[in-house]
Amino acid sequence: MTEKEIIQGCKLGEMSCFKQLISLYDVKLMRFLNMRCKNQQDAEDIFQETFINVLKYIDSYRTEYAFSTWLFNIAFNLIKKRPQLEQELGDNLVAGSDTSAPISSSNIWIVARSTLENEQLCLLWFIYAEGYTGSQAAEILDRSLAWVKINLVRAKQKLREKLTEQGVGLIDLLEG
């Protein structure tokens, strides 16, 4: 089944389609939630709440937009409504990552989390970790494309400065 067919099935109330929809996005959404939430339990709670809202509001999904954009928008808004769930600065974002280890793609997010504002961190995540376009990131973050472009440059510059401070050099990891 295609994603469109699965979504149509969800709109018709077919639970098997809803299960398929969850399996299409569970890994990406949990990866994002684990980056944003204090612990695994909070991430799982928001994950569940996100898909409850998907089921509840599936009829409001507009097919001219990517479903993933709509899904991440729901999750992002749920986190914004409950800021006590967000990571404290300095918390490990990637299970098992060693902050004293050389900077790599697995722990650069820890440096980014301790350096950037929340929206800039999410912007980098959506662009580089999830592969969204600037327009899709703008939609999720409820910002203009101009804001996305400006803040992408600013976030990369801040991160570049922090990594240079730590002796890493330019952020080749994100520019590849």
Topology of domain 1-88 in CATH is Rna Polymerase Sigma Factor; Chain: A (1.10.1740)
The pTM is what?
A: 0.70
Q: What HEC string does the chain produce?
A: CCHHHHHHHHHCCCHHHHHHHHHHHHHHHHHHHHHHECCHHHHHHHHHHHHHHHHHHHHHCCCCCCHHHHHHHHHHHHHHHCHHHECCCCCCCCCCCCCCCCCCCCCHHHHHHHHCCHHHHHHHHHHHHCCCCHHHHHHHHCCCHHHHHHHHHHHHHHHHHHHHHCCCCCCHHHHC
What's the confidence (pLDDT) of residue 83?
A: 67
What's the confidence (pLDDT) of residue 63?
A: 82
Q: Residue 43 contacts by C-beta under 8 Å, 6 or more apart in sequence?
A: 30, 33, 34, 36, 37
The structural domains of the chain, with segments of one domain joined by +, span: 1-88, 98-176
Specify which residues 86 forms β-bridges with: 37
What's the confidence (pLDDT) of residue 97?
A: 37
Q: What residues of the chain score a pLDDT lower than 70?
A: 83-107, 168-176
Topology of domain 98-176 in CATH is Arc Repressor Mutant, subunit A (1.10.10)
